[in-house]
Structure 1
Amino acid sequence: MLILSEFDIQFRLPAPTAIVAVLSVHPSLESRVRAGNKLAVEHFTTSIADAPAFTDGPKVNVSCTDFIDSFGNRCARFFAPKGHLRLSGSSVVETDAKPDPNDVRAEQASVQNLPADVLQFLLPSRYCQVDQFGGIAQDLFGSTAPGWARAVAIRDWVHARVAFNYNAARPTKTSMDVFTERVGVCRDFQHLAITLSRCMNIPARYATGYVGDIRRPFSGPGDFSAWYQVFLGGKWINIDARHNYPRIGRVLMATGRDAADVAITTSFGAAYLAHFYVESNEVDPQGNKVPLPEALEIPQPIPHELKTPTQTNGSEASPTQTQSATL
């Protein structure tokens, strides 16, 4: 199966700004990349007020440098001029035409037997307050069988008790906020599930990438998406507290402790989102999009003005970040 993923993200920069972007397919999938996977960084000489999104006006390519971060993700860093900045790219990745596996035999290792590099995914992180959930997790899942059964119980509990709502998103929302409010976007589902998993000594890490409507009815405009991975049976296994059913055609971009580690862009200065487009589709060998099954009702796109700050800052899964520090 071939999955075409593409993005076009544009910002208005009030001053020259250093930026780090995490927009490439994950290095573990490089052998499956059939086309693309190149980030284009362009500066437009016309102002955002004079040029609409997808402008074809005068532009200058901005050079960038790739590097691998401490979590094994491919990143790009560059220094962008003041004005209108466009980040775009596409990739065609060959994936298995099978749904996410249910690894019912995956066993949970004791902490003393975990690989050293996995231990960090049991600890508290920016959005996952493991130190505040010990008693809660034990009360909810202490009686469940260790391993896959316990991981699924946590996933299903979060899915059943948290409502999805774009308007409830905010970039500072933690797992305790999600537990208290019981509403959020996909990253919030995953943060709560990750936290509860870690409390039960199941290593869990945040994952972001493309989860398009592949061989299923259209569900709305495209976006980057979040899921998480649990370390069971000696390997990382995809699991999803928002879509708690097997999906087809996931394309991984990055993993980390939580969303703070895998923001699609981190700008070290102000950067105002001007345009955001992401889409992921199955294509045939000739590059034609494969038609989706018909749905009884097609959801209407969310009006731009109704999207939450987290969503309009890039993605419900991996928002952009603005920092005052320098590279």
Structure 2
Amino acid sequence: MFLKSEFDIQFHLPEATPMLALLHVHPSLESGLMTGDALRVEHLEGEAPTELLVEEFLDAFGNRCSRFAAPAGRIRLSGCNTLSVDAEPDAQPVLARQSPVEDLPPEVLQFLLASRYCQVDLFGGVAQDLFGYTLPGWQRVAAIRDWVNWKVAFNYQTARSTKTAMDVFTERVGVCRDFQHLAITLTRCMNIPARYVMGQLGDIRIPYTGPGDFHAWYQVWLDGRWWNVDARHNKPRPGRVLMAVGRDAADVAITTSFGRADLKHFYVESNELDEQGNLVPLPGGRPAKVETPGV
């Protein structure tokens, strides 16, 4: 399957501000790139855009990061790539086994611990009461995923940057990152490593659902490898584009500004292409290109 992913994000900065961005595909997918994966950062003040110097590096989780010094004014971050990915929906490894904690690789242990949004220390009793009856391994993972999907309602209007897993458990409403934070927390409580994933999941082989956005899901460690799991979309989906992994959303922010940055324009899309490079029609058709302006 060929996927074309693109974005155009613009901010207004009242003053010069250093910034970080996580807008590349994950290094594990780079072998599938059919076109470049460059991040273009431009200053839009004046008669013509001025391209800014961007430094690339890998962070502690192996994500490809960008840093740049942005002058005051309008800033645009944009990019486009075409990627070859597996056309199969998310694997459902029903026989995958849960490893004893003492047998886990050292680098995986951190994904059992509490983190900024995943308060494992507050959920031990809750997780045991809800899922202690399940068999260790994939059955337990799927039970947690489906419970969060059933119990939490999706609502963009409830998004806030401070919402924790406990807030989601109490309020029972949130956006995709909130679904994943609660599921990750409950999964870790059952001694299954779980890490947060940021990427793109467009309307691939499903009816159109609305303007594009970045998406969050998570991965669990079973049978010696990571598996994709999604508490927001708990039915297997094809077309995921992994961009970054971490303990929770605090580790994989799309952009981080060390100063005020007001969002003015936001456009993100990921679509399937055929072998000739044409957009693959969606069931029910596809509307004209939609861009979402900033507030």
Instruction: Give the TM bin, normalised by the shorter chain.
Output: over 0.9
**What RMSD over aligned residues (CA atoms) do the two structures have, in Å?**
1.6
Change (3 A) 1:261 1:102: same
Tell me which residue corresponds to 2:28: 28
Tell me which residue corresponds to 1:235: 225
- Cα shift at 1:41: 0.4
User: Secondary structure of 2:268's match?
Assistant: strand
Report the AA paired with residue 247 of structure 1. R
Change (3 A) 1:157 1:302: farther
Tell me which residue corresponds to 1:19: 19
Matches within 5 A, 1:1-327: 1-46=1-46, 58-294=48-284
Q: Any unmatched runs of 5+ in structure 2?
A: none
User: Secondary structure of 2:219's match?
Assistant: strand
Give the Cα separation in 1 of the matches to 2:276 and 2:213.
24
Report the AA paired with residue 161 of structure 1. K
Report the AA paired with residue 241 of structure 1. A
Give the Cα separation in 1 of the matches to 2:291 and 2:145.
27
Tell me which residue corresponds to 1:51: none
Change (3 A) 1:254 1:132: same
Tell me which residue corresponds to 1:318: none
Deviations 1:195-221 (A, max 9, x none): 000000000000010101111110111
Give the Cα separation in 2 of the matches to 1:128 and 1:221.
28
Task: Give the 4+ runs in structure 1 shifted more than 4 A.
Answer: 301-305
Report the AA paired with residue 136 of structure 1. V
Give the Cα separation in 1 of the matches to 2:203 and 2:114.
33
Report the AA paired with residue 271 of structure 1. A
Change (3 A) 1:167 1:42: same
Q: Any unmatched runs of 5+ in structure 1?
A: 47-56, 306-311, 313-327
Deviations 1:154-185 (A, max 9, x none): 00000000000000110100000000000000
Change (3 A) 1:273 1:290: same
**TM-score between both structures, scaled by the size of structure 2:** 0.97
Asked if the contact 1:124/1:130 (under 8 Å) is kept, the reply is: yes
- Cα shift at 1:97: 1.1
Count of aligned residue pairs for this structure pair: 293
Asked if the contact 1:36/1:89 (under 8 Å) is kept, the reply is: no
- Cα shift at 1:44: 1.2
Give the Cα separation in 2 of the matches to 1:45 and 1:220.
31
User: Secondary structure of 2:34's match?
Assistant: strand
Give the Cα separation in 2 of the matches to 1:36 and 1:208.
20
Change (3 A) 1:169 1:34: same
Asked if the contact 2:264/2:293 (under 8 Å) is kept, the reply is: no
Asked if the contact 1:214/1:249 (under 8 Å) is kept, the reply is: yes
Deviations 1:222-249 (A, max 9, x none): 0000000000010000000000000011
Deviations 1:29-74 (A, max 9, x none): 000011121100000124xxxxxxxxxx511110011000000100
**Which stretch has the larger CA shift, 277-286 or 228-237?**
277-286
Change (3 A) 1:303 1:88: closer
- Cα shift at 1:302: 10
Could you tell me the percent identity over the aligned residues?
Answer: 65
Report the AA paired with residue 263 of structure 2. L
- Cα shift at 1:105: 1.1
Change (3 A) 1:274 1:303: closer
Asked if the contact 1:44/1:85 (under 8 Å) is kept, the reply is: yes
Asked if the contact 2:87/2:239 (under 8 Å) is kept, the reply is: yes
Tell me which residue corresponds to 1:49: none
